[in-house]
Amino acid sequence: LVAIRTTSILGVLRAKYLVLELLSGLLVPVAFFPEPVRKVLVWLPFLHMNDTPGRIWLGLASGADALAPRSRPGQDPRAGFVVSKAVGGSVVRHAVTRRLRHLVAPRLHRLPAGSTLVVRALPPAAAASSEQLGSDLDAALDRALRLSAQRAASAADTVAP
């Protein structure tokens, strides 16, 4: 149990955001962390806040790469959503997130056990119909799963004698 007495909450908030930004890869890329620290960070949700979208944006990871390295063996698949201010105001962003959550839930069974799916909404998602969002989501999942299967097959071929 820790107690802090302060006249201003700003110091505590700054410390919180410093830790959050450090562990999410915003201040220092996670690739620069020592291996033992990276092993711990893989099990925490911070990587998916900045590092995973950044790796995808830089072309360092495809959808399949973003799924596999962060897997949690033996656990149910889970999904997270990234909806930036470019999509719209707070009400619009939350509406898009609710629609995506509703669309992703019945599709989670398609993912391998322990997978983490990160869905990034682009600005056109605000005006798209649920049918269009669902078809885009299906296409992205199909591609990610196909690439994951190809990568697993090629890894098995390199290991085979």
Q: What is the pTM of this model?
A: 0.55
* 109, HSE (Cβ side, Cα atoms, 13 Å): 1
Nearest to 101 by CA among 127, 125, 74, 69: 125
Residue 128 confidence (pLDDT) above 90: yes
Q: Which residues contact 31 (CB under 8 A, 6 or more apart)?
A: 38
**Average pLDDT over the chain, rounded to whole?**
83
Long-range residue pairs from 100-106, CB within 8 A, at least 24 positions apart, any chain: 100/125, 100/133, 100/137, 102/130, 103/130, 103/133, 103/134, 103/137, 104/79, 104/137
Count of positions (residues) in the chain: 161
Please report which confidence band the pLDDT of residue 151 belongs to, taking 50, 70 and 90 as the band edges.
confident
Per residue in 58-92, pLDDT tens?
Answer: 777 766 656 554 555 677 888 889 999 999 999 99
User: Greater confidence, 46 or 108?
Assistant: 108
pLDDT band at 42 (very low <50, low <70, confident <90, very high): confident
Whole-number percent of the chain with pLDDT over 90:
32
- Is pLDDT at 155 greater than 90 in this prediction? no
* Strand bridging mode 78-83 / 116-121: parallel
Beta strand ranges found along the chain (DSSP E): 78-83, 116-121
Find, among 118, 138, 136, the residue nearest to 69 by Cα.
118
**Count of beta carbons in the 10 Å neighbourhood of residue 54:** 17
Which of 31-40, 50-59, 137-146, 151-160 reaches the highest mean pLDDT? 137-146
In this predicted structure, what is the pLDDT of residue 69? 47
Instruction: Compute the Cα dihedral for 141, 145, 150, 152 and give only its sign.
Output: positive
Check residues 149 and 122 and name the one with the higher pLDDT: 122
Amino acid at 77: P
Supply the DSSP symbol for 5: -
- Among candidates 120, 126, 53, which has minimal Cα distance to 88? 126
pLDDT at 29: 81
Looking up tokens 């110091």 gives 11
